[in-house]
Amino acid sequence: MKINNKGIIFVISAPSGAGKTTICEHLLKNLNNLKMSISHTTRKPRTGEKNGVNYYFINKAKFKEMIEKGDFIEWAEVYGNLYGTSKKMINDLLNSGNDILLDIDIQGAKNIKKIYKKSVLIFILPPSIEELKRRLQNRNEEPEIIQKRLNKVADEINEYKFYDYLVINDDFEEALKKVMCIIQSERLKIKRVSKNFIKNFLQ
């Protein structure tokens, strides 16, 4: 039974290579009432990525038009591409009674927290920089991209204090369990329990 009627926004950020995407996929499979927000981006789809599933892939002109129309709750430039979370996506998911999972970068996480004070920010890190390097090299990314990502990590790691939770992805199963525990505990917080819960319970 769902005991809170207001959806919770969970934001997950991590340097690429920390295992965030796989963790998000497993969370969606394992937890009820949790839906992923699909961002808009000007980045080109990678092999296997589908429009409307991984992202809404749009061109720069369309993205700029959406910024001007105020369609985004937050947007940011990451590695030269634009990424944004649409207001409609968030409102539709919250109105349908679901909690939302946002896989966005630190700039986006900060903006979401400003707007939704009760959102929950989770930061995922690999066990070490060496391990991160190794994971990125295994991904077949171009050396230039890997270097760009590694350069960004130092800035990103300094921002971890801004988040509510820190999970180190050393062992995948353990890390997944920890993130699931965070979500379950947040859902059970008394401050989030719907006022109607007691009323309905006594009826």
Footprint of ligand 5GP (CB under 6 A): 16, 39, 43, 74, 76, 78, 83-85, 103-105, 107-108
Q: Report whether 126 contacts 19 (CB < 8 A).
A: yes
Q: Report whether 136 contacts 180 (CB < 8 A).
A: no
Q: How far is the CB of 118 from ligand 5GP (least distance, A)?
A: 19
**Structure-token pair, residue 53:** 């599933």
Q: How far is the CB of 80 from ligand 5GP (least distance, A)?
A: 10
Helix (H, G, I), strand (E, B) or coil at 196: helix
Query: Among positive and negative, which fits the CA dihedral 193, 195, 198, 201?
Result: negative
The residue number whose beta carbon is nearest to ligand 5GP equals 108
Identify which of residues 3 and 164 has a Cβ nearer to ligand 5GP in the complex. 164
Identify which of residues 78 and 150 has a Cβ nearer to ligand 5GP in the complex. 78
Q: How far is the CB of 20 from ligand 5GP (least distance, A)?
A: 7
Q: How far apart are CA 186 and CA 200, in angstroms?
A: 21
Q: How far is the CB of 85 from ligand 5GP (least distance, A)?
A: 4
